[in-house]
Chain A
Amino acid sequence: MPFIPNTDADRKAMLERIGVESFEELISNIPEELRYKQAFNLPEPLSEMEVVREVHHKTRCNRTISDAISFLGGGAYDHFVPAAIGHIISRSEFYTAYTPYQPEVSQGTLQAIYEYQSMIAELMSMEVANASMYDGGSALAEAALMAVAETRRKKILVARTVHPHYRQIISTYCHGQAIEVELVDAENGTTSLPDIKSKIDDNTAAMIVQHPNFLGNLEEVFDISQLTHENGALFVTSNDPISLGILEPPGKYDADIASGEGQCLGNSLNFGGPYLGILAAKFKLVRRIPGRIAGATVDNQGRRGFVLTFQTREQHIRREKATSNICTNQALNALAATVYLALMGKHGIQDVARLCLQNSHYLADRIQNLDGFQLAYSAPFFKEFVVTTPVLPVEIIEKLTLQNIYAGIDLSQFDFGLKNGLLIAVTEKRTKHELDVFIEALKNV
């Protein structure tokens, strides 16, 4: 395999055609002082066999989720990914397909997107879903911009209990558009209704909450929704789609825009990305939805088919006046979610959610009986919770990593005022034995 496709003869032919003697002559207009003269700090060339050996050696230094018992969460979860998903998304019709602008050659991709949208809309009880965004954070930030456009108001209220990275993305998206972003504080690990009351006004476009929130707790979504709507603002949520197997969907508490991170639906952790941004809304907001929407239609012979719809608002047509500067979607990740949802079905999602709930509550009960450990909050939670620890979380994390246990996320790095907070996530994959091993390990920290 030729790694450098130009032979000496090729280079000579090209230089002759250009009309120069040598490569040095070709770049003679680059001043001497700007040229890098030293040798590159690179190892000597290796044979293919040597490269394979080297890379294999390096990959053995990786630590992955399958080598350990993981309690890591915070938006990226170790849920089970059935083998059928990898098989289907690896088919070259899906794997290599690029953008499905042309319906005459993209029916399979468009139908998959349409089915994804239909399942997401049903899971969230929302009227319309788009073809997906980059990830949960960018979906939520786009939702904020939708609310600003719809209400023509310039302030966004964001619960502090929203994922800190998502909050950063919201601020980045709003920066430069003169949109004010204000944080709403929490009490007992959930959003404070009195604080919303004191901060919401007739310039507030949206109230944004995550449910379950970053700390794992359930928010008072019905009350927050009502309070938000009384002030003429939109209620925007970020939801864990797995939680919707057991919790009321956002449509039931009248969310105007519902978003979420879809990694947990049949997508591997992928070293942090690519992930899947879920975005759904009420139908009256359909023209504000960024990115793509696949629609069902009929051709001139009355046969069912699929097209991208509302393209007139996208960047490749509307240029700088487009609804959003996203001009793609996470098609393969959305397909994985579609296959996952189809495989699991209504009862499968409910079972996964119930197992997460049972596992996390078993673990939380056992941990709070350990000396020095306490549950940080008394609020109801789903699959994730915060414990306060007798020693710094970083010490626990380091110590348990040596025992192949990923204890959780050290919350001292965020703005929750928790020096000793450890965020622990428990999925359906954790066995009772694994939970007990974790508890034993915590006893000895």
Chain B
Amino acid sequence: MEIPKELFYTEEHEWVLIDDANNTATIGITDYAQSELGDIVFVELPNVDDEVKQMEPFGAIEAVKAVSDLFSPLTGIVTEVNMLLQDRPELINQDPYDKGWMIKVQLADTSELDSLWSPEDYKKHIS
């Protein structure tokens, strides 16, 4: 199971890529999450300028057998949404850490970063 070193993680199986220069975060779901869900058929994401709150749902992901909420790892304003996923949700299965990214968020409170998990923490969580 791939767990890239440069990312942070949450208990709900989201990954976060921090861009310190712009104070933004890119958010997606982990390799483990996509493999547990199975074939993803639809993903419901927020709109640009929507507010997301830490550990509150920002969308939903639908696989063949279940629909799950997506939890935001951080609080902020959505600046970008991966529109490619509307027509090609399978990108989340194929490439969860790159082409399968979901949203970019302008961070409201950088102290929240402390609550994120390291790759090691996340590895322990799923093993």
Interface residues of A (CB under 8 A from B): 152, 287, 312-313, 317-318, 321
CA distance A194 to B20 in the complex (A): 52
Q: What are 19 residue pairs bridging A and B, where the CB atoms are less than 8 Å apart in the complex?
A: A152-B47, A287-B42, A287-B44, A287-B62, A312-B62, A312-B63, A312-B64, A312-B65, A312-B66, A312-B67, A313-B62, A313-B67, A317-B66, A317-B67, A318-B66, A318-B67, A321-B60, A321-B67, A321-B69
Q: Is the interface of B mostly helix, strand, loop or mixed?
A: strand
Taking CB atoms, residues of chain A closer than 8 Å to B64 are: 312
CB-CB nearest in chain A for B46:
A152
Contacts from B to A (Cβ < 8 Å)? 42, 44, 47, 60, 62-67, 69
Give the number of residue pairs across the A-B interface with Cβ within 8 Å: 19
Top 6 A-B residue pairs of the complex, sorted by shortest distance between their CB atoms = A312-B67, A318-B67, A312-B66, A312-B62, A313-B67, A287-B42
The interface centre, meaning the residue of A287, A312, A317 with most chain B CB atoms within 10 A of its CB, is A312
| Least CB distance, A298 to chain B, in whole angstroms | 16
Bound form: Cα–Cα A366–B99 in Å: 71
User: What residue of chain B has the Cβ atom nearest to residue A323's Cβ?
Assistant: B67
Residue of B at shortest CB range from A321?
B69
Closest to A314 in B: B67
Q: Which residue of B lies closest to A288 (CB)?
A: B44
Q: How far is the CA of A212 from the CA of B7 in the complex (A)?
A: 58
Extra inter-chain contacts (16) besides given A312-B63, A312-B67, A318-B66, CB under 8 Å: A152-B47, A287-B42, A287-B44, A287-B62, A312-B62, A312-B64, A312-B65, A312-B66, A313-B62, A313-B67, A317-B66, A317-B67, A318-B67, A321-B60, A321-B67, A321-B69
Q: Which chain A residues border B66 with CB–CB below 8 Å?
A: 312, 317-318
Chain A residues, CB < 8 A from B65: 312
Nearest-neighbor residue (CB-CB) of A311 within chain B: B65
Smallest beta-carbon distance B64→chain A, Å: 8
Q: CA of A313 to CA of B69 in the docked complex: distance in angstroms?
A: 12
Per the bound structure, the CA–CA distance linking A318 and B44 in Å amounts to 15
- Min CB–CB distance B6 → chain A (angstroms): 33
A219 to chain B, nearest CB (A): 31
- Hey, which chain B residues are within 8 Å of A312, CB to CB? 62-67
Closest to A286 in B: B42
Whole-angstrom CA separation of A318 from B62 in the bound complex:
11
- Say how far B122's CB is from chain A's closest CB, in angstroms: 25
Collect the chain B residues with CB atoms within 8 Å of residue A321's CB. 60, 67, 69
Instruction: Give the docked Cα–Cα distance between A152 and B49 (Å).
Output: 13
- Tell me, in angstroms, the Cα distance from A317 to B69 when the chains sit together: 13
| Alpha-carbon separation in the docked complex, A349 to B63 (Å) | 41
Cα-based distance from A312 to B47 in the complex (angstroms)? 23
Q: How far is the CA of A317 from the CA of B42 in the complex (A)?
A: 16
Task: Collect the chain A residues with CB atoms within 8 Å of residue B44's CB.
Answer: 287
Q: Within 8 Å CB of A287, what residues of B? A: 42, 44, 62
Docked CA distance A152–B64 (Å) = 26
Nearest neighbor of A313 in chain B, beta-carbon distance: B67
A148 to chain B, nearest CB (A): 15
Give Cα distance in the complex from A237 to B116, angstroms: 47
Q: Which residues of chain A are near B42, meaning CB under 8 Å? A: 287
> Measured between alpha carbons, how far is A312 from B63 in the docked complex, in Å?
8
Contacts of A318 in B (CB 8 A): 66-67
CA distance A312 to B65 in the complex (A): 6
Contacts of A317 in B (CB 8 A): 66-67
* CA A152 to CA B44, docked complex, whole Å: 13
- A321 vs B71: C-alpha distance in the bound complex, in angstroms? 14
User: In the bound complex, how far is the Cα of B63 from the Cα of A152, in angstroms?
Assistant: 23
Residues in B with CB closer than 8 Å to A152 are 47
A321–B67 CA distance with the chains assembled, in angstroms: 9
* Chain A residues closer than 8 Å to B47, beta-carbon distance: 152
Nearest A residue to B65, CB-CB: A312
**Cα distance A110–B78 when bound, in Å?**
42
Centre residue among B47, B63, B67 by max chain A CB count within 10 A: B67
**Nearest opposing residue in chain A for B67, CB measure:** A312
Distance in Å from the Cβ of A105 to the closest Cβ of chain B?
Answer: 20
- Give Cα A313–Cα B67 distance, bound, in whole angstroms: 7
Chain A residue at smallest Cβ distance from B44: A287
Q: Which residue of A lies closest to B66 (CB)?
A: A312
Which residues does chain B contribute within 8 Å of A313, judged by CB atoms? Answer: 62, 67
Closest to B47 in A: A152
Q: In the docked arrangement, what's the CA distance between A287 and B44, Å? A: 10
Minimum C-beta distance from A232 to chain B (A): 12
CA distance A216 to B21 in the complex (A): 64
User: Complex formed: what's the CA distance from A152 to B59 in Å?
Assistant: 13
In the complex, A317→B66 CA distance in Å?
7
Q: With A and B bound together, what is the CA distance between A317 and B63 in angstroms?
A: 12
B61 CB to closest chain A CB, in angstroms? 10
With CB as the reference atom, state the residue of chain B lying closest to A287.
B42
